[in-house]
Amino acid sequence: MQGAIAPAFVAESIQKHSTKTDIGAHSIFMGQVRSDRIDGKTVTAIEYTTYEEMALEKMHIIREDIFSKYSLTCMHIHHSLGAVKAGDICLFVFTSSGHRKAAIAACEEVVERIKNELPIWGREIFDNETHQWKENK
| Chain CA centroid to CA 113, Å | 11
- Domains of the chain listed by start with CATH number: 7-133 (3.90.1170.40)
Tell me the residue type at 86. A
For CA atoms 111, 116, 121, 127, the dihedral sign is positive
Closest CA to 87 of 36, 20, 39, 123: 36
Cut 0.95: pTM above it: no
Report DSSP state, residue 129: S
By residue count, the chain amounts to: 137
Residues 106 and 26 sit within 8 Å (Cβ to Cβ): no
H helical segments located in 1-137: 7-15, 52-69, 100-117
Max distance between CA atoms of the chain, in angstroms, equals: 51
The CA distance from 113 to 117, in Å, is 5
Low-confidence ranges of the chain (pLDDT < 50): none
Burial class of residue 16, CB neighbours in 10 A (0-12, 13-18, 19+): exposed
